[in-house]
Amino acid sequence: MTHLAASHEIMSHTELLLSALGLALLIGIVAGLRSFTAPAVVAWAAFERAISLGNHWVVWVGSLAAVIGFTVLAVGELVLDKLPKTPSRTAPPSFGARLVSGAFAGAVIGTAFGHQWSALGAGVIGAAIGTLGGYHVRARLATSFGRDLPAALLEDVVAVGGGLAIAALAAAL
């Protein structure tokens, strides 16, 4: 029995639900900042057995192929985000992709807590918050710095560091 499974036996239904919703909301915010970072983080967490997906529909997320695929996409996004021709995250295709990413990452985390559908919704809400909030914060930081690159790099650190912190918190619960 994993540490996670053992700790879940002593958590009430309400505690599991609130944990799933809170973590899904947070990973959704990460998806709003960097759309592929959230799936990469949950894939690594599943691969390292920090979260237990059991035999649920998302068990494939913990495979080596998924980890490699999501990691390559996340690193690519970190690079592409700095290019001048990259579309705004608030443009409909980009915004939609971030909502889907937040939903997916939220559902994966929610599965570990037995609340995938509620967590899916929380992930979408988090992604909307992260997308819109990240857009405005980055714009203000870019104005303060006099250029966008330092703001973009700071956003990268927040997204990756925040994602890793969320995975560690999920593992600790």
Structural domains of the chain, count: 1
Q: Is the pLDDT of residue 136 over 50?
A: yes
The answer to whether residue 123 is domain-embedded is yes
Q: Is the pTM of this model over 0.95?
A: no
What range defines the domain where residue 113 resides? 15-172
Q: Is the pLDDT of residue 4 over 50?
A: no
The answer to whether residue 90 is domain-embedded is yes
**Cβ–Cβ under 8 Å, residues 14 and 110:** no
Mean pLDDT, residues 147-157 taken together: 97
pLDDT in tens, 38-87: 999 999 999 999 999 988 989 999 999 999 999 999 999 999 999 989 99
**Cβ–Cβ under 8 Å, residues 61 and 40:** no
Nearest to 117 by CA among 128, 102, 101, 106: 106
Q: Is the pLDDT of residue 8 over 80?
A: no
